[in-house]
Structure 1
Amino acid sequence: MIKRYCSVLLVSVFLWAYAGLLSAGALDDAVRRGVLKVGTTPDYVPFEMLDKQGRIVGFEIDLLRAMSRALGVELELIAVPYTDLVSGLMARKFDLIGSGMTVTQERNLKLNFSDSFIVVGQTVLMHPRLAGIISSVEELDDASYRVVTTRGTTGEAAAKRFLGAAQLSTVTTPEDGVQQVVEGKADAFIHDAPYNLIAMSRPQNSALLSLEQPFTFEPLAFGLKKGDYDSLNWINHFLNQIAQDGSYDRLHDKWFRDTAWIAEIE
């Protein structure tokens, strides 16, 4: 009887420990291995992008580096196409998504999101032939206009929502979208305001026109697997801490007020 009791007890302890491992959060896993693995798509200026040395840099990347230091771990950035971020997280290829991802109701059905670390919106870049013709996004909602967006982004969703009558197409990267407008292959490009603002500052894009007022409200956040509330709690406290101690403002000014970094980007 005692032997049977001990066997049952050992099995119970094992199952309890195993269940604990299964329920461990992404940040717990990162601390155990000493590395925080983050999935990102480095083509979203100035949040994540490649510098001339091929390193991934940007505002969100600096936030992740600060997060890793606070955790006491190294940061490993895993570059994947934007459309592969959610599936990569589900396949445990990385611990969280840090890639300028907008919190949407559709995505929230698949992921849990941290508190937002910045709010952006969609804006429009246009070919100069539309000068004096188009003054609002609503005026682009016409079958005579060709509008391009980046595949899998909220820019694509916004175009489908607001510009259903226009000729809509998608490209793989925002650089491709801007280039199509520069070359006259498209009339307008829709993408997040920070990226479009910086794209306009580049000499090769200087002739483009801009509707600078965002026409959507889009909070960006870090994405984690559903149910990982311990990790969410830690990240939210981290974001609150850096907002209070001035770290966030310093990083924000570095990437959104200063322009020295532009010379280091490809």
Structure 2
Amino acid sequence: MWQAPPAPVSREWLPVLDMPAPGPQNRWTVLLRVLLLIPQFVVVWVLSVVAFFVTVIGWFGALVLGRLPGFVADYLSAYLPYDTRVTAYLMLTVDRYPPFRFQAPEYPVQVGLRPGELNRLAVLFRIVLVIPASIVQGLVNAGWWLVAVIIWLVVLILGRMPQALYEATTAILRYRMRYLAYLVMLTSAYPKRLFGEEPGSEPEPVSATRPLVLSGAGRGLLVLFLILGVVSWATSSVTASVNSGDNNDNDDYGNPTQRVIAPLVPGPGAVR
């Protein structure tokens, strides 16, 4: 019996992050990591300001051309790896100081990008489409930074980052990179695979993070970071709501009529 041939499977290409396996780290550089990065923070801030305006230009260009203009793609393709190298060093995944230049083929942290054709409708609504990914990366990053001092102490005492912690941290770092790449239109692929790839998904390992296969402990830490991020967000929201409520109550007692008209007036008073 004749059967139709299977339809070709198109595999979506996602931006890649190549990093070496966790190794020994100099405890002095771990101890002074934030201080050492102060010059880099200044550089990244300046580059990010430029990247913002370049991205705005690129958004208009992508709507017309269906792709980023050449100079926009070139700048953002250089900026994003620079930012990722600095972040990787800050998050204690590597011990080698990031260089002050765009092109750094010898550095152990490498980002692979393929700017290309873009869906104009997806470009038009990019800010809306990216909201779910923004929430995910915001929560998992908040959870990691909530226990950053503990992570710093662990690496300082051991002189290296434990494997499970390294897996979870690089997963966060990779998702953040993919999120930014999608936000600035360097890729049409939506950020995904926060929890890594399944074993055997790649024919041959290219680096310690490609494919990124998380152990049970690594996945557990990633879930913990997500939970901590949610708790941190909920706590800050409740605190802000209570403070706002106290201020509004004081204002209401000063002006009794405000309690009556508040639900009829658009604005913060209407949600009380």
One fold, TM greater than 0.5?
no
Q: TM-score, normalised by structure 1?
A: 0.26
* Structure that is richer in helix per residue: 2
